[in-house]
Structure 1
Amino acid sequence: MGTGFCNWVLPVILCCWVLFLSGVYSGDNLNGRKVRGVNLGGWLVVEGWIKPSLFDGIPNGDMLDGTQVQFKSVILQKYVSAENGGGQSLTVDRDIPSPWETFRFLLKQLWRVSETEFQFRSFGGQFLTCDAAGDSVSATAVSPSTKETFYVERNSNNRVHIKLESGAYLQATLANQLIADYPGTPGWDDNMATFDMIIVANNLHGDYQLANGYGHDKAKKVLTEHRNNFIKQEDFIFLYRHGINTVRIPVGWWIAQDPTPPPPFIGGSLAVLDNAFSWAQMYDIRCIIDLHAAPGSQNGMEHSSSRDGSIDWSTSPEYISQSLDVIDFLASRYANHPALLGIELLNEPSAFGVPLDALVSYYSKGYQIVRNYSSTTYVIICQRIGNADPLELYQANIGSSNIVVDLHYYNLFDIFFVNMSAGDNIEFIFKSRQTQLQALNKANGPLVFIGEWVNEWNVTSGSQMDYQEFGRAQLQVYDTASFGWAYWTLKNDRKHWDFEWNINKNYLQLEQTKVTSQIPNRREISSAAFFAFHGSSSHLFFNCKCFK
């Protein structure tokens, strides 16, 4: 009886002791360890490429918000065109499609109202509009309403009819105009009201597209099922058993207005984030909350919840203020939670759409907001994607303590990597990535975090051993980052992006790399190190993630 009592009591005492220690440690540390993390991507911020089946039930699923389309008259064999990108009446006179015929400008495209109602944005940003039956269609509306909403009837051969709310159908004329005056109801034979619709691109599959595509009730059901089952408590056990001490959790700006965010976004993600913190605490894992999707979109991609590919975040003080409110909400809610390690103020702002001065101002204000709630929580600032130098953030003097610069390393998404062999990719890791990390580590400024990387490349014939060597090279180099690293992502429909698959199938071997040193205390940048490194190759700074 005594032996059985000991066998039962000892584990309970140890468990209680672990929970006690977890409560004692503040959210600013990993007990001296560097971050060895995994991203929980595609969970609270939807990315269709991670789990395509989420979109399977949407009617007309190839006509989601942001889809690029062209229309060609079957009689005239001419394309509908917004001359000069918009600002005047449409014509039906182009033999070959050009950017004018695709209703977009910097990826501004189709807006979906329902499965049969759509609004179209021209190359110059204006919306197609038609006042009434008998009038011509022009690209002159600044914002859409009833007159800018068109009904699209579609057959199995991708032929379409387009009509107004009044029921009047658009037709091409022999004078190459587009007018809402077709008599009666057109058939699917060759007639002036029938057009071939060409889907040029259907690249955006984010929260906006999912929620607006399904409608609120169906979307709520789909997202509730997804959020409750994509990541579970068992996944944190898996991570703990494989030496992962941190999860980076992407969230969308609408989480701050949970449970009733503005349409079309669906509430419920906040309760799931609370669960993640509870599971993390149970298994001695820390959390980085990452504002992945900002209002107005900071990069035009689906993972920023963009509606149509526009990058409007920095163009409106309201969007930036709203983002700061989200940071305030997250910091106030989680700053004292023992599982919190850091808050990332913004994921992957675009160098092409977000000016550096606007970004630095936002980062500085976000840093102060977090400091209002915690003196020790790490504040993480992400490098701009595109042609941007990470040292621009070192130079900015955003904060004085526990600040981290997040770099994203992918040997993908650029022609530079297309023809590289397995050996070339590995050499690039050691020569370029390692050189950059060494320089940044020596700079007495923010810590360095490889917040996203993946064991995938453009090598189409890579063997398991090739992947193992590539993964080993990345782990060896990224382990030297002063703050640590996080793999993108835990689960993914594409197997080499799936951390769990890589571990279980022995394509990524964590145990063969050595975890080194503690997170250093870093405050100021060395100007000598800055200028010595500033002239390095542009490929050294490449970190863009652009899916599909």
Structure 2
Amino acid sequence: MRYYLLSLLALSGAVTAWLPSERDLFGEQPNSVARSVSIGKGRSIKRFDSSYNKIRGVNLGSLFIIEPWMCADEWKSMGCDGTNSEFDCVLKLGQDAANAAFKKHWDTWITEQDLDRMKEYGLNTIRVPVGYWLVEDTVYADSEHFPQGGLEYLDRLAGWAASRNIYVILDLHGAPGAQEPNQPFTGQYAPSAGFFVSWQYDRAYKFLQTMTERIHKNNAYRTTGMIEVLNEPERNHPDLITTYYATAYDKIRETEENLNIPGAQQLTIQFMDQAWGAGNPRDVLQGKTGVAFDDHRYLKWAPIEQSKQSYLSTSCSDTFGDGDSKPIIVGEWSLAVDSNQEWNAGWDPTKEENKAFYTQWWAAQVQAYEKGLGWAFWSWKTQLGGDWRWSYSAAVDAGVIPKDPGQAAALAKC
């Protein structure tokens, strides 16, 4: 998760490839519109209008890539206190002790009960940030230090989601060499972004191909329909588009062709949209099918007036999808506000009188993001005390977010 917002840009629409609406995955729900389709002899079945079956999801932040800022107690209990990233913690603890600490974390940070609560709260999708090191033979064993054994826990999570008809977006959040400097979300607090060279790209392709094959061969992944090739890359690397994005798409499709996967069952391949500022993926994707785009929208860092009215009006009128970035999902957003004001009396989340604003702003964002394919909030769970602005589950429990996201249009008052 990157600490600034892209410019607020223009929207668009069409749906392609293995998306939830293509399989009626979400079924009949409050936001569904069904039509009866005749199947002969006076019988009919329901088909749901895909424009109403929106992705309503959460990120499982700090499950497979821990960000210490959002779970300091967990980080300390694992013995990682004083380190900035998973790489640093494994180096500190040693491989065996680190493996034990991380396995305990994977067993407890997100449980089946969490997925049950997501369903109860009207959510239908999880975005799962992962690092390339889950595919362990991509790791340089002599110089890189990451926890081992995470892939079986990802398998388990995918199975839990599938058994509940929860759609899964798998997101390459931490790339070889790090795609951003000094960011724990890459899994390594690297002083510079080392990803943007051919041999690092090769390791990322191997990760993508291995996971593509696993998704298609392992029934646990039957509701995993989207793979994002890279989260929040550093800007000013032109070959990110011309080389990495173009080849990543081809490698995933090549793997599926070798497995004889029909087009309707192929993964949707997702890219950060042009508004992120690292180039326009459409430059190399014209004519390619089964693609989607990811937009991250944090008004906390936006170049707008930092006032409640400004937040509401900006979200109410928000448009996005510049550069033919469609179909599009807002893959990260939150209720966090300007750092200089976030604990002032008028913004303090612990004050009851401020909750109505946050409810309305949540709703304003939801109604905007559902102009596209939908959204995934950052994040499901945090350890930030009474500050629920980064935690969907805590915000619901605090009565700020309703259990039915379908209430957003009425609550937004746009």
Structure 2 distance, partners of 1:303, 1:233, is 24
Report the AA paired with residue 359 of structure 2.
Q
Report the AA paired with residue 231 of structure 2.
N
Per the alignment, in what secondary structure is the counterpart of residue 436 of structure 1?
Answer: coil
More helix by share: 2
Distance 1:514 1:56, change over 3 A: closer
1:224 deviates by 1.1
Per the alignment, in what secondary structure is the counterpart of residue 284 of structure 1?
Answer: coil
1:253 deviates by 0.6
5+ residue gaps, structure 2, are: 1-16, 25-49, 348-353, 410-414
- Matched residue, 1:284: 165
The 10-residue stretch of structure 1 (361-370 or 327-336) with the greater mean CA deviation from structure 2: 361-370
CA deviations 1:74-105 (Å, max 9, x no partner) are: xxxxxxxxxxxxxxxxxxxxxxxxxxxxxxxx
- Matched residue, 1:238: 117
Distance 1:293 1:61, change over 3 A: same
Structure 2 distance, partners of 1:39, 1:340, is 14
Greater radius of gyration (CA):
1
1:37 deviates by 1.2
Does the Cα contact within 8 Å between 1:258 and 1:267 map onto a contact in 2? no
Report the AA paired with residue 391 of structure 2.
D
Q: Does 1:29 align with 2:20?
A: yes
1:29 deviates by 3.0
Structure 1 distance, partners of 2:154, 2:78, is 26
Per the alignment, in what secondary structure is the counterpart of residue 435 of structure 1?
Answer: coil
Structure 2 distance, partners of 1:240, 1:296, is 36
Distance 1:258 1:498, change over 3 A: farther
Structure 2 distance, partners of 1:436, 1:344, is 19
Match for residue 56 of structure 1 among 68, 76, 92:
76
Distance 1:37 1:61, change over 3 A: closer
**Aligned-residue identity in percent:** 22
Match for residue 311 of structure 1 among 185, 193, 197:
193
Match for residue 89 of structure 2 among 203, 207, 210:
210
Does the Cα contact within 8 Å between 2:270 and 2:293 map onto a contact in 1? yes
Q: Does 1:485 align with 2:375?
A: yes
Per the alignment, in what secondary structure is the counterpart of residue 68 of structure 2?
Answer: coil
- Matched residue, 1:501: 394
Report the AA paired with residue 298 of structure 2.
Y
- Matched residue, 1:451: 331
Structure 1 distance, partners of 2:171, 2:389, is 23
Distance 1:245 1:261, change over 3 A: farther
Does the Cα contact within 8 Å between 2:55 and 2:124 map onto a contact in 1? yes
1:259 deviates by 11
TM-score, length-normalised on structure 1? 0.57
Does the Cα contact within 8 Å between 2:364 and 2:408 map onto a contact in 1? no
Q: Does 1:473 align with 2:364?
A: yes
CA deviations 1:372-411 (Å, max 9, x no partner) are: 314331100124786x177x23344266212111010001
Structure 2 distance, partners of 1:457, 1:515, is 20
CA deviations 1:411-435 (Å, max 9, x no partner) are: 1235x35x6111111112133xx23
- Matched residue, 2:316: 430
Which structure has the higher relative contact order (CA within 8 Å, separation 6+)?
2
The count of corresponding residues between Structure 1 and Structure 2 is: 336
CA deviations 1:132-175 (Å, max 9, x no partner) are: xxxxxxxxxxxxxxxxxxxxxxxxxxxxxxxxxxxxxxxxxxxx
Distance 1:377 1:278, change over 3 A: same
Per the alignment, in what secondary structure is the counterpart of residue 38 of structure 1?
Answer: strand
Match for residue 345 of structure 1 among 213, 229, 250:
229
TM-score, length-normalised on structure 2? 0.74
Structure 1 distance, partners of 2:392, 2:243, is 35
Structure 1 distance, partners of 2:246, 2:99, is 36
The RMSD of aligned alpha carbons is 2.7
Match for residue 407 of structure 1 among 270, 289, 295:
295
CA deviations 1:333-359 (Å, max 9, x no partner) are: 00354211100000100115xx13333
1:319 deviates by 0.5
